[in-house]
Structure 1
Amino acid sequence: MTVLVPPRHHDIADDLRQQITSGRLQPGERLPSEMALAKRYAVSTVTLRHALAVLQGERLVEKIHGKGNFVRRAPRKIMYVGGWGTLDPLTAAGPALRITVRSATVPARGTLAALLKVPTGSPLAELSYLSLDGEMPQGLARIYTPRDLAPAGGLDDAPARREALARFAVVGPPPAAIRETVCARSATPDEASALKIPSSAAVLAVTRVATDATGRVIEAALLALPGDRFDAVFTTHHVINERQA
């Protein structure tokens, strides 16, 4: 019978992982040099780097160019509040919070036309924005609105709209209903690049559709939220009708 032996770098990654999760290695602590670790585990530096790559992919270790490998500090957890389509202000607030925004007009195609319930080719206002906490990306969003419903004027002279973007809230008038679909998946290459995460990292992908009182779709939003930085929270309230009362 042939016994398969796991590659040596997995054993090394397991040992370092245990030291990190048990607290023997503290957040922000610099690991010994790669040469010193390779000597400790009696492996080549190539094998050692494979082990570190595993931990980097798990977001336990980060490599800082010219400085070495460090135990990664746990990111601040932010709550996305389902049903309201916004970030919880208590967890998302921060003096370093900022956003970068790009706007464009695009034609409705495929999924977008279906989400917004508009004819194919209809003009849509697109807002692509990245929310950052200092230099750390928080989340990525693309918001689409029928062109005739897009707010007049730029974002710079509309503080309320800019604040709504920072909270990932619906940008236009308050909707009558919000429908959200949430799934966990691997980041796309574009998302991984923008969010500074490995392509294998998980994101919470939120598809949010907001409608007005007439049932018209006033916004469709596609959000990508890093799984290690976000929790999605949904609260259900029991409604008592007049007969029950």
Structure 2
Amino acid sequence: MTSSMPPRHHEIADDLRQQIITGRIQAGERLPSEATLADRYSVSTVTLRHALAVLQREGLVDKIHGKGNFARRPHRKIVYVGGWGTLDPWTAAETSLRVTVRSATVRAEGRLTTLLKVPTGSLLAEFSCVSLQGGTPHGLARIYIPNDLAPTGVGDHDSPSWGPITRFGVLDPLPADIRETVCARPPTPDEASALRMGSTPSVLAITRVATDTTGRTIEAALLVFPGDRIDAVFTTHPTNDERQTQG
């Protein structure tokens, strides 16, 4: 008969996770040594390290070489609502979630020429955004639009904040069509550094392309969120023809 009991290191991870989440182990507090924890749970140090590795991947424990393992406050997740880069209203309403923005004029190269369907060297307005909650980065976005559609005053400057943000988008009114491509992948070194990701294994990368009623591509957005700090929601609205067919 096969046992359904979870591996011992998962049981240990569950117990330590609960202590961190409930505050019995405070954020920033150093955990007992690995040898002490192994003795406490009556397991080998190898098993104990497997348990800590689970929590490190979840962002609940940081291992600092030469110093030990430290508890971290659980990251609060934000919700990305597909379709126009909208953030969940409850998330966006919190004044602690803010977005810093840097705008610049750049020339289209490589992937941008394909996404925006423009010749190499075409002028684009670039908006580089970082969303932060309580000083912790929650997402990166680079938004590109043709220069003739750029709001007045775009150039090489920084905006300290857009205040409470409702979406990662620049243009109004809404475009006629939006296509989003979503994938999970390892972060680039620059992304890992900007998002302070530590041992988080992957990011959610979203490429959004918007077109107007004439079919012109008017915006391309490259968004990156740490996998442990984001939930993405996509809603499909059937057309009238589809409803009639199903009826």
Query: What's the TM-score once normalised by structure 1's chain length?
Result: 0.76
How many Å separate the matches in 2 of 1:235 and 1:150?
29
Q: Which runs of 5+ in 1 are unaligned?
A: 1-10
1:182 matched to which residue of 2?
182
Alpha carbons of 1:97 and 1:24: their partners in 2 closer, same or farther (altered >3 Å)? closer
Q: Which runs of 5+ in 2 are unaligned?
A: 1-6
Q: CA-to-partner distance for each residue in 1:142-166, whole Å, 9 max, x for gaps?
A: 01111111100259xxx9x9469x3
Alpha carbons of 1:143 and 1:215: their partners in 2 closer, same or farther (altered >3 Å)? same
1:38 matched to which residue of 2?
35
How many Å separate the matches in 2 of 1:114 and 1:236?
26
Alpha carbons of 1:189 and 1:13: their partners in 2 closer, same or farther (altered >3 Å)? farther
Alpha carbons of 1:237 and 1:163: their partners in 2 closer, same or farther (altered >3 Å)? farther
1:138 matched to which residue of 2?
138
The 5 A counterparts of 1:231-242 are: 231-240=231-240
Asked if 1 retains the 8 angstrom alpha-carbon contact of 2:98 and 2:131, the reply is yes
How many Å separate the matches in 2 of 1:199 and 1:107?
34
Asked if 1 retains the 8 angstrom alpha-carbon contact of 2:13 and 2:54, the reply is no
How many Å separate the matches in 2 of 1:193 and 1:69?
20
How many Å separate the matches in 2 of 1:63 and 1:199?
9
Asked if 2 retains the 8 angstrom alpha-carbon contact of 1:26 and 1:71, the reply is no
Query: What's the TM-score once normalised by structure 2's chain length?
Result: 0.76
How many Å separate the matches in 2 of 1:50 and 1:41?
11
Following superposition, the deviation at residue 124 of structure 1 comes to: 1.0
Task: Give, as a single letter, the amino acid of the residue that structure 2 aligns with 1:111.
Answer: R
How many Å separate the matches in 1 of 2:199 and 2:55?
14
Asked if 1 retains the 8 angstrom alpha-carbon contact of 2:59 and 2:200, the reply is no
Residue 20 of structure 2 corresponds to residue 20 of structure 1: no
Q: CA-to-partner distance for each residue in 1:157-212, whole Å, 9 max, x for gaps?
A: xx9x9469x33332012211111101111111111111110365211100001111
Following superposition, the deviation at residue 126 of structure 1 comes to: 0.9
How many Å separate the matches in 2 of 1:236 and 1:40?
48
How many Å separate the matches in 1 of 2:228 and 2:129?
20
The share of aligned pairs that are identical, in percent, is 60
Asked if 2 retains the 8 angstrom alpha-carbon contact of 1:108 and 1:119, the reply is yes
Task: Give, as a single letter, the amino acid of the residue that structure 2 aligns with 1:18.
Answer: D
Alpha carbons of 1:230 and 1:26: their partners in 2 closer, same or farther (altered >3 Å)? closer
Asked if 2 retains the 8 angstrom alpha-carbon contact of 1:144 and 1:219, the reply is yes
How many Å separate the matches in 2 of 1:92 and 1:16?
36
Deviation larger for 193-202 or 24-33: 24-33
Asked if 2 retains the 8 angstrom alpha-carbon contact of 1:186 and 1:199, the reply is no
How many Å separate the matches in 2 of 1:163 and 1:175?
24
Report how many residues are paired.
226
1:6 matched to which residue of 2?
none
